[in-house]
Structure 1
């Protein structure tokens, strides 16, 4: 399962939509909820990011992201 994680680079300032960034994680999970939990744990363990939202990408959405965004899987 591929998840898109929306985040702010710091927890010290109020979130601003214009500063929201995203990364993509591949998580081996049995359910969407378990995958979201694992994705959050990975990001929190390895960064100081302020996570805003975690989204499971459907097949169609994943194909769109691969062609229209700066798509690279993040590995920790």
Structure 2
């Protein structure tokens, strides 16, 4: 499964839409995604599992890059 992760780079930063970043991670569960990203010290706002249609839409974006963690 592919998950879209919305996060802030600084762990103490209050979530602000204009500074929210996203990344894509392959994992079996939300817990596994959080575990894989734990060493990055991100302030994770939301982890969203992408269904097939949503994934195809996201792949069209120039910002789509699947993380290898």
- Normalising by structure 2, report the TM-score: 0.92
- CA shift, 1:68, in A, is 2.5
* Residue of structure 2 equivalent to 1:18: 18
Q: Which structure is higher in strand share? A: 2
Segments of 4+ moved more than 4 angstroms? none
Q: Residue deviations 1:13-69, cap 9 Å, x none?
A: 222111000000011x2xxxxx1010011111x201100000000000000000134
Q: Tell me the number of residue pairs that the alignment of Structure 1 and Structure 2 aligns.
A: 69
- Normalising by structure 1, report the TM-score: 0.84
* Residue of structure 2 equivalent to 1:62: 55
Superposed CA RMSD in Å reads 1.0
Unaligned runs of 5+ in 1: 30-34
Alignment of 1:1-76 (within 5 A): 1-27=1-27, 29=28, 35-44=29-38, 46-76=39-69
Unaligned runs of 5+ in 2: none
Q: Which structure is higher in helix share? A: 1
